[in-house]
Amino acid sequence: MRRRKTAVAAGCCLAFLLGTLLNLLFIPGSEHPPPPRDEVPPSPPGAPLYPPEEEIGGGQAALARQIRERYEEVLRYRQHRAAAAAGRRPLRPRERRLMDLAPPRTSAEQPRPPGPRGRAAAGPWAGASAELSLEPPLLGCRDIRDVSGVQYLGSGYTKAVYKAVLNRTLAVALKAVDFGGHDIAHCVRQFSALGDCYRLAAYKIVKEMILLQRLRHANVLQLYGYCYQDSNDIPDTLTTITELGSPLEMIQLLQTSWEDRFRICLSLVRLLHYLAHSPLGSVTLLDFRPRQFVIVDGELKVTDLDDASIEESSCTSNSDCFMEFPARNFTLPCSVEGRCQSMNEKRNLYNAYRFFFTYLLPHSAPSSLRPLLDKIVNATGELHWGIDETAAQLERVLNLYKSGEYLQNTTRMPKAEYRRVPEAFIPDENYRCWPSYHHKGCLLSVFDVNEAIEICDSYSQCKAFVLTNQTTWTGRQLVFFKMASNHIVPDPDKITYVKVTD
């Protein structure tokens, strides 16, 4: 009996170990893909993009249809912008359909960033740049030949992202199709056609590249350029060169000051307001998660747009306008035009509420601002407001905070007297407070000296504070709060206030 129990236990352990090993081996995209190659080997002339369906099998026909559908989606974004900007002008010769543009390349040794005046590259993928009427890039293949400090940052289902330094001065992000990622692996398993599977995945990068060009806003990541070059035996693989940001880490954000967390929410609302009224129409982010955003100089910017959409849902009744989320659902009105009213806008707004506002807005905010912030959170959580009203209310919070008006309704009678010591600093005597701009001390922002006194009075260990000449993004002054004033040193850029009575 004991041997049987021992054998069963050993079998369970072995099954568990094998299962763990298999999971590790077959996690999609778990391995770091190689960075984009610098060399550009010659590429042979290619065949037409879409072979006749009678000449290919059912699986290949299905893949060809997927490629065509994704290509046509990309083309809609280009044509949408072109029609709006040029009064629905006819397409010029260099904007012919992609499948009609596949002349061979005359000099395969020279990589070139394709643009409106560039030659169409060889191969079935080649004519995309001319067809999509991309703007000439600021940076191209020549700029990424001599990159340094290449570092893998991460990957998703489709793309791999690398950090690189150009000319030893400019840090950028390089995005390319992840050959070891989920999209490519799944497609190759299904169709056994690496080249076509790459093309299908790469159209998502082309779509994102076009949207980055069309959606010019302070909270949209900047596209610096792109490069088509041969790699992995596939002609004209695409690498995009973009602005580099820091990943958005929610746990770290929760440990920052309320002022910085409010800036993230304000950046997001300004972005969503722009997307609701963009030149392309109302844009929704279908894959709305914190990982789709980065932080650049304290500002939130959207970086992944390959899953963005301008399609408004059609409807015949309100029941067709159903939005489902994990915590709750909404039904929007169906317009007389047969479209769900503001669905793109409301989807973005509710996602902003559940991923950002709930965690970042009310916590540790100034007490006089909390009623307004609670109102904003509740109104967006119930979708009582649209993005216009939400943006207006957050701008109101910013104005109250920057102007100091939020302090007018608070009691500001000092509990102690303070002695002013100009051009002086206390180098030590730190204590920790939360949230603080300094991890080893208590460094907070204040509107004026009176608010600094109020804060010092609220901390039992505070015996002095030092006004610095540094300010935050709102123009508020940074102040060190100290637990003693035993050692004061000269400093022309600071003013110290010492508590003389309690």
**Claim to verify: residue 380 and residue 471 sit in the same structural domain:** no
Tens digit of pLDDT for each residue in 206-220?
Answer: 999 999 999 999 999
Whether 277 is covered by a domain: the verdict is: yes
Domain containing residue 331: CATH number:
1.10.510.10
Cα–Cα dist 184/195, whole Å: 10
User: Scanning the structure block, which residue is given the tokens 């905010």?
Assistant: 365
Question: 475: how many CB neighbours lie within 10 A of its CB?
Answer: 10
Q: Is 107 exposed, middle or buried (0-12, 13-18, 19+ CB in 10 A)?
A: exposed
**Claim to verify: residue 270 and residue 347 sit in the same structural domain:** yes
**Claim to verify: residue 354 and residue 460 sit in the same structural domain:** no
Last residue in a domain, options 244, 264, 284 = 244
pLDDT at 333 > cutoff 90: yes
Long-range contacts of 222-226 (CB under 8 A, 24+ apart): 223/137, 224/137, 224/138, 224/139, 224/172, 225/113, 225/137, 225/138, 225/139, 225/140, 225/143, 226/113, 226/134, 226/137, 226/140
**Claim to verify: residue 252 and residue 385 sit in the same structural domain:** yes
Task: Choose, from 178, 230, 233, 287, the residue flagged as catalytic.
Answer: 287
Phi, psi of 342 (to 5 degrees): 55, 30
Whether 483 is covered by a domain: the verdict is: yes
Whether 433 is covered by a domain: the verdict is: yes
Is 81 within 8 Å of 279 (Cβ atoms)?
Answer: yes
pLDDT at 74 > cutoff 50: yes
**Claim to verify: residue 251 and residue 342 sit in the same structural domain:** yes
pLDDT for residue 412: 64
pLDDT for residue 406: 92
Label residue 54 by pLDDT band (50, 70, 90): very low
**Claim to verify: residue 391 and residue 447 sit in the same structural domain:** no
Who contacts 433 (Cβ-Cβ below 8 Å, separation ≥6)?
A: 442, 444, 459, 481
- The size of the chain, in residues, is 502
Q: What is the mean pLDDT of residues 355-382?
A: 94
Whether 96 is covered by a domain: the verdict is: no
Expressed as residue numbers, the domain containing 160 is 148-244
Phi, psi of 163 (to 5 degrees): -95, 140
**Claim to verify: residue 466 and residue 370 sit in the same structural domain:** no
CA nearest to 63, candidates 157, 238, 234, 190: 190
pLDDT for residue 78: 75
Domain containing residue 458: CATH number:
3.50.4.10
pLDDT for residue 168: 86
Q: What is the mean pLDDT of residues 101-127?
A: 33
- Percent helix, percent strand, percent coil in the chain, to nearest 5: 40, 20, 40
Whether 330 is covered by a domain: the verdict is: yes
3-state DSSP assignment of residue 40? coil
**Claim to verify: residue 331 and residue 449 sit in the same structural domain:** no
Concerning whether 287 is annotated as a catalytic residue, the answer is: yes
pLDDT at 379 > cutoff 60: yes
Whether 412 is covered by a domain: the verdict is: no
Beta-bridge partner residues of 430: 482
Tens digit of pLDDT for each residue in 155-209?
Answer: 888 999 999 999 888 999 999 999 989 999 999 999 988 889 999 999 999 999 9
Label residue 80 by pLDDT band (50, 70, 90): low
**Claim to verify: residue 224 and residue 288 sit in the same structural domain:** no
Last residue in a domain, options 214, 244, 274 = 244
**Claim to verify: residue 382 and residue 292 sit in the same structural domain:** yes
Tens digit of pLDDT for each residue in 195-245?
Answer: 899 999 999 999 999 999 999 999 999 999 999 888 767 888 899 999 999
* Percentage of the residues of the chain whose pLDDT score is greater than 90: 55
Is 412 within 8 Å of 483 (Cβ atoms)?
Answer: no
Whether 487 is covered by a domain: the verdict is: yes
pLDDT at 96 > cutoff 70: no
Domain containing residue 194: CATH number:
3.30.200.20
Cα–Cα dist 495/426, whole Å: 10
Cα–Cα dist 446/68, whole Å: 57
Which alpha helices (H) appear in 239-385, and where do they start and end? 250-253, 258-276, 343-352, 358-360, 370-381
Question: 17: how many CB neighbours lie within 10 A of its CB?
Answer: 10
Last residue in a domain, options 196, 222, 244 = 244
Gap between the terminal Cα atoms of the chain = 77
Buried-exposed string 434-449: b where 16+ CB fall within 10 A, e elsewhere:
ebbbeeebbbbbbbeb
pLDDT for residue 146: 83
Is 309 within 8 Å of 286 (Cβ atoms)?
Answer: yes
Cα–Cα dist 295/70, whole Å: 30
Whether 62 is covered by a domain: the verdict is: no
Cα–Cα dist 462/502, whole Å: 11
pLDDT for residue 28: 34
Tens digit of pLDDT for each residue in 396-447?
Answer: 999 999 999 998 766 567 778 999 999 999 998 999 988 889 888 999 999 9
pLDDT for residue 60: 82
**Claim to verify: residue 279 and residue 209 sit in the same structural domain:** no
Is 200 within 8 Å of 66 (Cβ atoms)?
Answer: yes
User: Scanning the structure block, which residue is given the tokens 């995309």?
Assistant: 128
Structural domains in the chain (count): 3
Is 467 within 8 Å of 414 (Cβ atoms)?
Answer: no
Q: What is the mean pLDDT of residues 449-454?
A: 93
The most confident of the ranges 83-97, 112-126, 128-142, 381-395 is 381-395
What token pair was written down for 190? 């299904």
CA nearest to 295, candidates 358, 343, 373, 356: 356
**Claim to verify: residue 236 and residue 374 sit in the same structural domain:** no
pTM of the model: 0.78
